[in-house]
Amino acid sequence: MKTLLFFSIPLLFIPLVWSGYLEYNQDVLIPEGWTHAGRVDPSEELELTFALKQQNVHLLEETLRLVSDPDSAQYGKYLSLEEVASLVRPSEMTQKVVRRWLQSHGVSNCLTVHTQDFMQCTMTAEVAENLLQGSRFHHYVRDGQSLIRSSAPYSVHDDVHQHLDFVGGLHRFPPKQQEPREKRQNFKAGLHLGVTPAILRARYNLTAADVGSAQNNSQAVAQFLEQYFHPADLTEFMNLFGRTFPHMSQVDRVVGTQGGGKAGLEASLDVEYIMSTGANISTWVFTNPGRHESQEPFLQWMVLLSNMSDLPWVHTISYGDDEDSLSTAYMTRINMEFMKAGVRGISLLFASGDSGAGCRHLGKEKNSFRPSFPASSPYVTTVGGTSFKNPYKVTYEVTDYISGGGFSNVFKMPDYQVSAVQGYLKSVKATLPPQSYFNTSGRAYPDMAALSDNYWVVSNRVPIPWVSGTSASTPVVGGMLSLINGQRLLKGLPALGFLNPRLYKLKGQALFDVTEGCHLSCLDEQVQGKGFCAAPSWDPVTGWGTPNYPELLAALLTK
């Protein structure tokens, strides 16, 4: 297993002449729940991440389109990490300007990644505040978690601004952890009492033989927000629920540091269901609490992807934040990182969220729906949620009312989905929410879905019933895509990579269409808590529907 390590870079002192400043992040809002715990001592060390401007952004996007389109001659001809680095590596000028700027402030303890588009530098708070004019670092606490963030916007000299996308570790607070929901139901004799691996295999038509066998196949989950899994829980889960099919009971690799204390329900759910659906496939866990209070775990994971030459083919992530809480510059750069993964043949799946269409209060009794990111990124596959029509039987599926979905207010609708989304908007025009609530020209999500309601999970050695959320459906879909990757690799075909262009060309083939139910939204007079509703073909609650595994396998084995 070849893994590229961070390496230090020499910073030569060359005087700079500055001509002005440009401010980043004009509005800094401290999210609800975080409590100020005092100013940071000037001598306290911080670790900040500098995102350097990349080259060939449009060429990267075009390359992703070509390697992901099954009708392209370039389909499946993925790039190595070295080739990606050659494509996007910041210009010599950008690297020199940023290095000189840092050195002129006495910053020399820096690491970079293989693609040279991220630098992580350690410095004192006093140096950081001089470097990033206007920043003021403070301690904040919430639920026992401590962070260092700046309470004020920062600015950099305009000579440097044109060479930086953003500086990480200043303003972004982690979103409030949405634990999967637990709910109680009355049991009925003779009927199933919740979703288990056996129930999923029955619904999606996987047999006991549908398990991994390819040696060069692997999958991963990524966990943030102080979430950890316990190996003993995974063993117990497989003892209880994995006896009818070959499986692994241990994670092959943990990247990062597992924290102590109790297992998180979210982390347990992710690992147990990607490994029972994508059974018998080597599985990695990325667990990144951050090495320092000033780090951002999600950004740390993205940096890791830019620095590892050998990665699993499928990654599932149950993480998101409100689009409007993030800067466009930050999200645009994260999209670049998603594209870098896609051109390497990596499939990134994100949960669509558990807030339906969401709701943002704009004042004076005016509301709008509230899309989530990265679910709204055009460069990932977003997974929504469903429920059984009868919660006690393996029946057809309807929408899970919490299933996140809607339209981005930042990113335009990608070409691969225009026909499908416009078809939906036209077919349900009479019953759509008011157009003031959503952006009809934005990236629409989710792309597909799976059951997200009433799961069994083992956490802290205790079997827990009735756990729900799109953090359940996402690893289930990820596991099935890993199985398909395994079959493709055995046939000498490349991994699926960025799935969406191919998924939308299937036009619902090989998926169970979900046509009943709506998800939740703003509780106001106009929409009265109702967001979008499912409809034939694609819809912004369940996407194209849920996988019919044998048919999806056949459809995705043709090229």
Domain assignment present for residue 236? The answer is yes
Whether 346 and 243 share a structural domain: yes
Element (H, E) at 143: none
**Rounded (10°) CA dihedral 269, 270, 273, 277:** 170
Q: What string of DSSP letters covers 404-467?
A: --EEEEEEEPPGGGHHHHHHHHHHTGGGSPPGGGS-TTEEEE-SEEEE-SSEEEEETTEEEEEE
Same domain? For 161 and 228 the reply is: no
User: What pLDDT score was predicted for residue 320?
Assistant: 87
Query: Any residues with CB less than 8 A from the CB of 189 and at least 6 apart, and which?
Result: none
Domain range for 273: 197-355+367-420+445-511+536-556
Catalytic residue (choose from 471, 473, 482, 521):
471
Among candidate residues 131, 151, 168, the one where a domain is terminated:
168
Q: Is the dihedral of CA 432, 437, 441, 446 positive or negative?
A: negative
- The answer to whether residues 163 and 229 belong to one domain is no
CA angle 124–129–134, rounded 5-degree value = 165
Residue 244 and residue 379 in one domain = yes
CA distances to 71, 82, 354, 486 from 494, in Å:
15, 18, 33, 10
Q: Which residue has the tokens 């401590």?
A: 146
User: What's the rounded Cα separation, in Å, for the pair 313 and 485?
Assistant: 8
Give yes or no: residues 549 and 453 share one domain.
yes
Q: Which of 239, 296, 287 is nearest to 458 (CA)?
A: 239
- Domain co-membership, 161 together with 299: no
Residue 278 and residue 240 share a domain:
yes
Which residue in the list 210, 226, 236, 266 is annotated as catalytic? 266
Q: What is the CATH number of the domain that holds 390?
A: 3.40.50.200
Summarize pLDDT for 456-488 with one digit per residue, the tens. Answer: 999 999 999 999 999 999 999 999 999 999 999
Backbone angles phi, psi at 39, to 5 degrees: -70, 150
- Domain count along the chain: 2
Residues 478 and 329 in one domain: yes
| Encoded tokens for 326 | 């993030």
**Looking at the domain assignment, is residue 21 inside a domain?**
no
- Looking at the fold, whether 116 and 244 belong to one and the same domain comes out as no
The answer to whether the beta carbons of residues 37 and 139 sit under 8 Å apart is yes
Q: Please check whether residue 520 lies inside any domain of the structure.
A: no
Does residue 471 have an active-site annotation?
yes
User: Has 270 been annotated as catalytic?
Assistant: yes
Q: What's the pLDDT score for residue 224?
A: 76
Whether 204 and 289 share a structural domain: yes
Strand segments, DSSP code E, in 104-160 are 109-112, 118-124, 137-142, 145-150, 154-157
First to last CA, the chain: 28
In a domain, 202, yes or no: yes
3-state secondary structure of 339: helix
Q: Are residues 163 and 203 in the same domain?
A: no
Q: Which member of 270, 296, 321, 453 is catalytic?
A: 270
Q: From CA 518, how far away is CA 450, in angstroms rounded?
A: 15
Q: Are residues 95 and 143 in the same domain?
A: yes
Name the token pair of 226: 């102080």
Percent of the chain that is helix, strand, coil (3-state, to 5): 30, 25, 45
Spans in the chain with pLDDT lower than 70: 1-32, 144, 171-192, 225-226, 259-260, 288-295
In this structure, how many other beta carbons lie within 10 angstroms of the beta carbon of residue 313? Answer: 25
Query: Is 176 among the domain residues?
Result: no
The whole-chain average pLDDT of the chain stands at 88
- What does the pLDDT read at residue 293? 47
Q: Which residues of 115-151 are buried (b: 16+ CB within 10 A; e: fewer)?
A: bbbbbbbbbbbebbbebbebbbbbbbebeeeebbbbb
